[in-house]
Structure 1
C-alpha cells in the first residue's frame, strides 16, 4: 500500500471515529439542554434533585459499557464493536423519545449509555492504531473534541426545535444522526492493522505449540493492568478520569439550568452551553501543541487548574456579559483538554494487546464521576445554597483532578526510560511504558 493511500486511509478512520464520538456527544449532552423542559413536563412533577438522578443513569450505563467494551474490542476487534455499539445507542436514543414517565426515561438512557460507553475505547484504539507514532495527542484531541461538538450541536438545535416541537423531537434527531454515521462506518471503516497482526501472530504461535504443550508467552489478560509497575499507573489514571469527568459532566449537565437561575432567559442560557462546548473544541488544539513540548500529563494537569479557576470566576458572577462568556470558554477549553490529554496518555502508556482494556478501565471507572455529577449538582441545589455553591463544588473537584495528575507526572518522570517489572508478561514488558 502506497504512503499516500495509507495516510488517506488513516484520516478516513480518524474522521469516521470522530463522527461516531460527535453523535455520541449529542446523544449524551442533549439531556442538559432538555432539563428546563423536563422540569415542566406535565404529570412528571420532577424536582431538580430528581432530574439530576435521571441524568446520572446514562453515565451508569456508560460505566458498564466502557468496562466490558474495552476488553471485548481487544478480543474480537475494533470495527465490529464500533458498529454494534453505534447501532445499540441509536436504537435506544430513538426509544427515549417515547418515554411516558421518569422511570422510563431513566431506563432508556441507561440502555443507551451502554453503547455510548462501549464505543469510546474501541474508537480511540482504532484511530490511534491507524495513525503515525507520536500523534496520539492529536488523534485523541480530534476524537474527543467530538463530545463537546455534539453537545454544541444539541444546544444549537435546541434553540429552534424546543420551543416548537418539544424535547422528544431532540431525541429523534439524535437517533437519525446516529443511524447516518452507522451507515458510513459499516461501508468505510476498516479493522485495525495492529489488531489483525497481533491476532495472526497469536494464531500462528498457537499452531506451533506441540500437543499437550503451552505457548511460550501467556495470553494478555485484563488482570495484567494491575500487575507490576502497571498497578499504580492504572489506579491513578482511573482516579484522574473520575475527578475530571465529575467536573466536566457536572458543568455540562447544570450550566443551562444554573444560568436560568441567575436570571438569564432560556435562549441565552443555551448559548452559554453552546459557547462552552465550541470553545472546548477550538481551544483544545492548543493543548496538543503544549503536549508536544511538555507531555500530555503535564498539560492535562495545567488544564484542570485552568478549569477550576474558570469555574471560580463563574461563581463570582461578573457583571460583564463578555467577561462571563470568556470564563465559560476557559472552563470549556480546560475541562475538555484535560480529559483528551489524559486519554491520550492512557492510549500511549499501554501496548495494543491491552490498549482497549486500559482505556475501558480508565474511562469506565471514570464514568462513576459522570454518574455522580448530575446528582451532585442536584443535591447541592436542594440544600438551597444556590448556583454559586454548585460552581464551587465543581471547582473543588477540578482542583482534585489536578492533584492526581501531578502524581501521574511524577510517576512518569520516575519511570522514564525504564522497563516495566517482570510481573507483566514478557512481550508486554518490552512494549508497555509510562511515556507521555
Structure 2
C-alpha cells in the first residue's frame, strides 16, 4: 500500500522541517534583513551626528534631548501601526510604505534649518522605522521553512544592531569630511533605492492571503506558492486563527491568547528596559568610574557584538530544542552577568579580559534575548493577527526603552549599584514573564 506523501507544506500553519527554500523566498528573506540593517542605520544617525547638529542649530545637547524622545515615540507608534496595517492590507505594501516613509523623512531631515523642523522629520521617520519591524518579522516567518525559520528571524532582527555598527563606520568616514547633512543624505537615498527593489521582488505572504480570504486571494496565494516552489494545499484549521480574524487588536486579549500576550508584553518591556538602560546610561556609568570616553564607547560595541552572536546561536537552538529553555537560559545569563557586574564592578578604568567578558556576556544574554523574543511573538500569533501581535509587543517594549531613558540615569551614582540592581531586576522579571508563556516554540522532532 502506498501511503500519501507527508512532505507537502500546509501554508497557514507550520511548513515541514525538510522543505527547501526557493531562490525567490530566500531573496525575500534577505531583503527583510537588509531593511532591518537600514532601519538600524537610520535609527542611530542622530546619535552619531548630534554634536554637529546642535552646534549648527545653536542649541545644546541637553536641550536637544527631547528630539531623541520624540523619535522613540514615533517608533513606538509606528510599531503598533505597522502591525495593524500589515494585517489589514498585507505585509508587502506595509513594508514598502514603511521604507518609503523613513527614507523620505530622513532625506528631508538633511535640508532642515532648525530644531523644530528636524524634530518633526525625526518623529515621522520614526513611524516608518517602527512600521518596518512587524512587517519584516511576519514576512520572514511566513516565507522561511520551519527548519530555518527561527535562525532567519534572529538574523533579520540582529541586523538592527548590525546597522548601528555599520552606521558608526560610515559616520566616522563621512562626518569629519562632509558633515551631518551628507550622512543624512546617505541615510535617505539608500532606503529609497531599496523601495524600488522591494516593489519588484517582494511577494505577498501566502499565509496572510489564506487568513484574509477575500475574493481572489486563493488564486493569488496559489500563484505565490507556485513562484516559490511550495505545495498548494489548504491551510490546516487553527482554533485560535478561526476566532481571531485579520488585524483585530482585541483578539490579542481574547480567551485563548490573553495570558500569552500579557506575559510576552512583560518580557518585551523588561528586556528593552534592561537593554536600553545600558545603551542610554552604561557609558556614563563607566566614565564616572574612571573609564575614558573611548573605553565607554567600546562597551556599546562589545555589548552589540555579544548580542548579535548570541542571538544567531539562540536562533539555531530554538529551531532544535524550542524557545522555553533557550530564552530562560538567556534571561538567567542576563541576571547572573548583572550580578557579576554588581559584585565586581568595572571601577579601575582598565579594559582587560574581565571587563570585556562582563560586557560581552551581559550584552549577549540581554540583547540576544530581546532579539529572539520576536521569534516567540511570531510563533504565538496566527497569520491573521501575527503582524498586529508583533507590533503590539514591540510597542510595549518601546515603553520599556522610554522608561529606561527616564529612570536609569538617576541610578548611575554611588558606583552604579542602583543602576546594576535595575539590570538584575529587569532580567529576572523578563525571565519570570517568559515562564508564564504557554505557547512556546516546541522542540523539533527527530533532531
TM-score range, shorter chain: 0.7 to 0.9
Alpha-carbon deviations, 1:299-319, whole Å to 9, x = none? 223323433444555571164
2:394 is aligned, of 357, 363, 366, to 363
Equivalent pairs, count: 399
**Alpha-carbon distance between aligned partners in 1 of 2:80 and 2:55, rounded to the nearest angstrom:** 35
Are residues 330 and 176 of structure 1, via their aligned partners in 2, closer, same or farther at CA, if it must alter by over 3 Å?
farther
Contact 1:280 1:336 in 2 (8 A): yes
Contact 1:309 1:395 in 2 (8 A): no
Partner of 1:325: 356
Are residues 97 and 63 of structure 1, via their aligned partners in 2, closer, same or farther at CA, if it must alter by over 3 Å?
same
- Residue 61 of structure 2 aligns to a residue whose secondary structure is coil
Partner of 2:156: 143
Contact 1:156 1:274 in 2 (8 A): no
Partner of 2:92: 79
2:59 is aligned, of 11, 35, 44, to 44
Partner of 2:334: 307
- Residue 145 of structure 1 aligns to a residue whose secondary structure is helix
Are residues 164 and 253 of structure 1, via their aligned partners in 2, closer, same or farther at CA, if it must alter by over 3 Å?
farther
Contact 1:242 1:365 in 2 (8 A): yes
After TM superposition, the score normalised by the length of structure 1 is 0.80
Are residues 204 and 65 of structure 1, via their aligned partners in 2, closer, same or farther at CA, if it must alter by over 3 Å?
closer
**Alpha-carbon distance between aligned partners in 1 of 2:113 and 2:215, rounded to the nearest angstrom:** 50
Partner of 1:209: none
Partner of 1:113: 126
Matched, 1:376 2:399: no
Matched, 1:176 2:189: yes
Partner of 2:419: 393
2:301 is aligned, of 274, 286, 290, to 274
Partner of 2:318: 291
Q: Which structure 2 residues correspond to residues 230-249 of structure 1 after superposition, within 5 A?
A: 230-249=257-276
Partner of 1:423: none
* Deviation of the 1:265 alpha carbon: 5.2
- Residue 12 of structure 1 aligns to a residue whose secondary structure is helix
Alpha-carbon deviations, 1:112-141, whole Å to 9, x = none? 111111111111101110011254321220
Are residues 218 and 301 of structure 1, via their aligned partners in 2, closer, same or farther at CA, if it must alter by over 3 Å?
closer
Partner of 1:25: 40
Q: Name whichever structure is richer in helix by fraction.
A: 1
- Residue 272 of structure 1 aligns to a residue whose secondary structure is helix
**Alpha-carbon distance between aligned partners in 2 of 1:346 and 1:93, rounded to the nearest angstrom:** 29
Tell me, which stretches of 5 or more residues in structure 2 are unaligned? 1-7, 10-17, 219-241, 443-447
Partner of 2:101: 88
* Deviation of the 1:344 alpha carbon: 0.7
* Deviation of the 1:376 alpha carbon: 3.3
Contact 2:311 2:372 in 1 (8 A): no
2:368 is aligned, of 334, 337, 345, to 337
Are residues 253 and 142 of structure 1, via their aligned partners in 2, closer, same or farther at CA, if it must alter by over 3 Å?
same
* Deviation of the 1:374 alpha carbon: 2.8
Partner of 1:190: 203
Q: Which moved more, 1:216-225 or 1:239-248?
A: 216-225
Tell me, which stretches of 5 or more residues in structure 1 are unaligned? 206-215, 413-432
**Alpha-carbon distance between aligned partners in 2 of 1:35 and 1:43, rounded to the nearest angstrom:** 12
